[in-house]
């Protein structure tokens, strides 16, 4: 499509933005060049781009927001060398390390997540991948959670083969998370202990066994815009039902501790591009939402339809009441047995501004033990190490 201008603007006209929405809804694939243009062309107006992305988001998801709560179920001691990760063997970030939490603690956190308004409960286990015995243990946890609470359950446990994926599928696992993080060409620059192909095969194993996949990226690791486009199209080809869009968080002590090129506008452009290339997918604005979007954070709800509550793996996030207030103020609601306003009423009298900080200076704030283990912190000290 030719980009044209009208008498009062120097950039694309309204037809350009409308065509983005129309093509996405019609299943027309954007060219690589157009995708890169959406990320880089200063003539493209951000509000017009967001409006076009919102048309697609509204068609598939309305004005509902899916809220996810993450349980860092085993923290640290990972043999992998992923340069962005606080749990990697190469990281010097001072995190609270502990082995896998006991089942009753994980179940208590599932209850807490449900009562906090979560639609999906995401359990993350550090390490290269589960043994056959650990896969059976995870399957037992999935069954217990699904029996007890009306929650979608997602597990992130590293590399999986068909046998282990089948065990989790039989337990009723809704989704497997395994992020691609970056492009195949760039992968060796961020990790050497496993390959991009290993990650692709894990996602395919999940698909072959009937498990939905949750796979996304981390922007800001020095990759060119073309890499973000490649990942978007790879995920579309894999049929990933959920795409978490992360923005690199700067932790003092990580190999990658300085995000590159992440302005609030660029982050929003990335979210829009992923909406156009994966129109029906759940696009989640994840790590770095508060840190990098800053005053434009609420605008992420126009291309994205889900987010995390209560922070990330080892990074603090905005307080729940602040996030719910943002959702309500923007005119959205959440997918939950409670409305966003009912959940806000539970926080009545709590100062929205008095949240846990998401950053200390120009670095990310690390979660405390109480934040990592809200239902089992008392016994966590004896489990450390």
**Which residues are annotated as catalytic?**
78, 82, 85, 122, 154, 214, 284
H/E segment holding residue 114 = helix 103-115
Bridge pairing between strands 359-360 and 363-364: antiparallel
Dihedral sign computed on CA atoms, order 276, 278, 282, 285? negative
Cα separation, 319 vs 186, whole angstroms: 34
Beta bridge pairs of residue 217: 181, 245
CB 194 within 8 A of CB 188: no
Structure tokens at 269: 């452009």
Cα separation, 363 vs 314, whole angstroms: 13
- Provide the strand spans (E) within the chain: 64-74, 120-125, 152-156, 175-177, 212-214, 217-219, 242-247, 282-285, 306-309, 333-334, 359-360, 363-364
Structure tokens at 165: 């994926």
Beta bridge pairs of residue 283: 243
Structure tokens at 159: 């590399």
H/E segment holding residue 246 = strand 242-247
199 closest CA partner among 284, 80, 78: 80
Cα separation, 151 vs 31, whole angstroms: 38
Cα separation, 225 vs 270, whole angstroms: 9
């Amino acid at each position: 499509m030719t980009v044209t201008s009208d008498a009062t603007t120097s950039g694309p006209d309204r037809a350009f933005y409308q065509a983005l929405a129309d093509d996405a809804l019609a299943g027309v694939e954007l060219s690589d060049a157009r995708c890169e243009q959406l990320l880089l062309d200063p003539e493209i107006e951000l509000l017009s781009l967001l409006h076009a992305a919102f048309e697609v988001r509204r068609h598939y998801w309305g004005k509902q927001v899916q809220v996810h709560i993450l349980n860092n179920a085993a923290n640290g001691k990972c043999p992998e060398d992923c340069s962005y990760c606080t749990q990697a063997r190469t990281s010097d970030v001072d995190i609270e390390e502990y082995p896998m939490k006991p089942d009753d603690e994980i179940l208590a956190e599932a209850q807490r997540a449900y009562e906090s308004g979560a639609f999906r409960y995401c359990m993350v286990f550090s390490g290269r991948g589960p043994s056959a015995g650990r896969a059976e243990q995870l399957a037992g946890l999935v069954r217990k959670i699904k029996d007890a609470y009306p929650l979608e359950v997602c597990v992130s446990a590293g590399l999986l083969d068909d046998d282990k994926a089948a065990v989790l599928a039989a337990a009723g696992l809704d989704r497997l998370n395994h992020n691609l993080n970056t492009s195949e060409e760039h992968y060796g620059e961020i990790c050497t202990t496993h390959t991009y192909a290993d990650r692709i095969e894990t996602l395919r194993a999940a698909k072959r066994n009937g498990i939905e996949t949750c796979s996304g990226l981390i922007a800001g690791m020095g990759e060119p815009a073309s890499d973000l486009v490649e990942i978007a199209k790879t995920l579309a080809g894999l049929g990933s039902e959920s795409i978490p869009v992360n923005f690199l968080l700067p932790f003092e002590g990580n190999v990658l501790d300085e995000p590159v090129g992440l302005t609030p506008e660029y982050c929003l452009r990335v979210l829009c591009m992923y909406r156009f290339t994966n129109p029906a997918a759940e696009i989640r604005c994840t790590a770095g939402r508060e840190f990098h979007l800053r005053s434009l954070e609420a605008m992420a709800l126009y291309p994205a339809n889900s987010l995390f509550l209560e922070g990330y793996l080892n990074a603090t996030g905005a307080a729940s009441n602040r996030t719910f207030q943002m959702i309500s103020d923007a005119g959205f609601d959440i997918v939950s047995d409670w409305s966003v306003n009912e959940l806000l009423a539970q926080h009545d009298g709590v100062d929205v501004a008095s949240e846990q900080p998401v950053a200390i200076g120009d670095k990310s704030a690390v979660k405390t033990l109480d934040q990592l283990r809200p239902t089992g912190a008392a016994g966590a000290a004896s489990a450390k190490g």
